[in-house]
Structure 1
Amino acid sequence: MSSAAHTSLAGRLDNLTIDVGVEGGRAVLVLRGDLIHGSADTLAGALARLPDGTERVDLDMTGVAFMDTTGLQLLEVLDTYGRRRRIQVTATGWNDQPRRILEMAGLDPDDPLHGPGTHREPVPAAVVMERAEQLDLLRTEVEQLRHAIVTRPVIDQARGVLMAACSCSPDQAWDVLREASQLSNTKLREVAAVVTAEAGGGGGGPLPSPELRQALRTAIERCLN
């Protein structure tokens, strides 16, 4: 039994799928893909189809690679389901970027439903303000990650050009692009497009400004010497 939610980025993010297995009153839901808008509804549908007599629900999150702040709604859906039916529910196996989302939201990534940060007592105003600031930073970071996913092909090409031209590592090539972007106040995607266009002879590609040319030279000297 499985469910799926479609993304809003035309396939650039992975669709969320949920594989459900039930044995001896315990339901194990294995999630794969990305937790974005619509994922909470997908989980709600999967939970609604569980058989009567289910006594425990465990979510396996090891297959989730990306999560934005709307993904936190999925935890609310699971928690509400468990409370209404008075059964145990868990969501474990969080990796990398999703773990950071949980941490910045004040939740324990090893046990976000029952660990620190989930108590129901009134929260001091100072803590509320601090968490609001953290979530604002988190939303900015998530948007940057979304943009990086969309622009990744041209950036990867530019890194490959720099690695071949400068005999540098992937990390060094990334540092050059980022440094040039900061020095010239140019978007990273635009810097990458210029690098790839120059490698192809420049025909039809964006013409770099003198400031960007100088920024690239400076970035190469700083990052590779």
Structure 2
Amino acid sequence: MTSAGPAAHGLLLNALAIDGRTEGRRALLAAHGELVHGAPDTVAETLAALPSGITEVELDLAGVTFMDTTGLALLDLLTEYGVRQGVRVTTCRWRGQPRRVLELIGLDTTDPLRTGPPPGSPERTVSAVARERAEQLAVLRAEIAQLRHALDSRPVIDQARGVLMAAHGCTPDTAWDILRETSQRTNTKLRHIAAAVIASAAPDGPPPPDPLRAALRAAAARHASRARV
């Protein structure tokens, strides 16, 4: 079963897929892909299709590469399923960015469905935990927005690197350095410089504004000089 949809930035994300098997009364599920909009529906369909008599469900998240706040909805879904069905539900092997999300929210990174604070953590009042999680969630949302913005900018920057490689006979790393140095010296966002470079490569395309053109030429000349040395 899979479920995916375009995110707010317009890119098709890696659909979440669930593989599973049963061992007696235990269901072992493994998730692969991204925990984004629509993913909880996939998990719900998988849980609904489990055979009767299951008393324990384990969801392995090692194959999940990205998670936004939809992951919180998934945790609620798993908790409600366990209570409703009288089934023990656990998650395991949180890695990479999804694990960082759990850390930001203050959940147990071994199994966020575990009741109570993680082992060794100090006791805190419910209000203090709620306040802290609200603050962390705001930070998380900002971080995810930045990641999505970076995904949007990536194709434009890669195209601009290709233009510079063709124009100056340089390597991809050198083209990146030219863009980065130009951005720093002109105090211009990297994606704006990349867009100007791409536009200038089109037939009858407008050249970059004078300050950008001068900075691009200077950066290219510096790197060409270093290469010769």
Whether the aligned pair in 2 keeps the contact of 1:193 and 1:205 (CA below 8 Å) is no
Q: What letter corresponds to residue 133 of structure 2 in structure 1?
A: R
TM-fit CA distance, 1:41: 2.0
Provide the residue aligned with 1:12 in structure 2: 12
TM-fit CA distance, 1:196: 4.2
Q: Using the alignment, how far apart are the partners of 1:21 and 1:149 within structure 2?
A: 35
Paired residue secondary structure (2:98): helix
Provide the residue aligned with 2:193 in structure 1: 191
Change (3 A) 1:73 1:210: same
Provide the residue aligned with 1:135 in structure 2: 137
Q: What letter corresponds to residue 43 of structure 2 in structure 1?
A: L
Provide the residue aligned with 2:126 in structure 1: 123
TM-fit CA distance, 1:63: 1.8
Gaps of 5+ in 2: none
Paired residue secondary structure (1:34): strand
Paired residue secondary structure (2:126): coil
Whether the aligned pair in 1 keeps the contact of 2:101 and 2:140 (CA below 8 Å) is yes
Q: Using the alignment, how far apart are the partners of 1:24 and 1:53 within structure 2?
A: 9
Whether the aligned pair in 1 keeps the contact of 2:4 and 2:36 (CA below 8 Å) is no
Q: Which aligned pairs between 1:19-98 and structure 2 lie closer than 5 A? A: 19-98=19-98
Q: Deviations over 1:111-130 (max 9, x none)?
A: 222277579984244x4333
Q: Using the alignment, how far apart are the partners of 1:160 and 1:115 within structure 2?
A: 52
Change (3 A) 1:166 1:107: farther
Aligned length: 218
Q: What letter corresponds to residue 69 of structure 2 in structure 1?
A: T
Q: What letter corresponds to residue 188 of structure 1 in structure 2?
A: L
Whether the aligned pair in 2 keeps the contact of 1:93 and 1:110 (CA below 8 Å) is yes
Provide the residue aligned with 1:158 in structure 2: 160
Q: Which moved more, 1:63-72 or 1:172-181?
A: 172-181
Whether the aligned pair in 1 keeps the contact of 2:197 and 2:208 (CA below 8 Å) is no
How large is the Cα RMSD of the aligned pairs? 3.4
Change (3 A) 1:213 1:31: same
Q: What letter corresponds to residue 44 of structure 2 in structure 1?
A: A
Paired residue secondary structure (1:112): coil
Q: What letter corresponds to residue 123 of structure 1 in structure 2?
A: V
Change (3 A) 1:128 1:209: farther
Paired residue secondary structure (2:43): helix
TM-score, scaled to structure 2: 0.75
Gaps of 5+ in 1: none
Whether the aligned pair in 2 keeps the contact of 1:194 and 1:205 (CA below 8 Å) is no
Q: Deviations over 1:167-221 (max 9, x none)?
A: 5674x765664564465454432222234455x4x54556423343456578777
Q: Which moved more, 1:184-193 or 1:50-59?
A: 184-193
Q: Using the alignment, how far apart are the partners of 1:166 and 1:109 within structure 2?
A: 47
Q: Using the alignment, how far apart are the partners of 1:129 and 1:178 within structure 2?
A: 39
Provide the residue aligned with 2:210 in structure 1: 210
Whether the aligned pair in 2 keeps the contact of 1:107 and 1:115 (CA below 8 Å) is no
Q: Using the alignment, how far apart are the partners of 1:215 and 1:55 within structure 2?
A: 66
The higher radius of gyration belongs to 2
Whether the aligned pair in 1 keeps the contact of 2:207 and 2:213 (CA below 8 Å) is no
TM-score, scaled to structure 1: 0.76
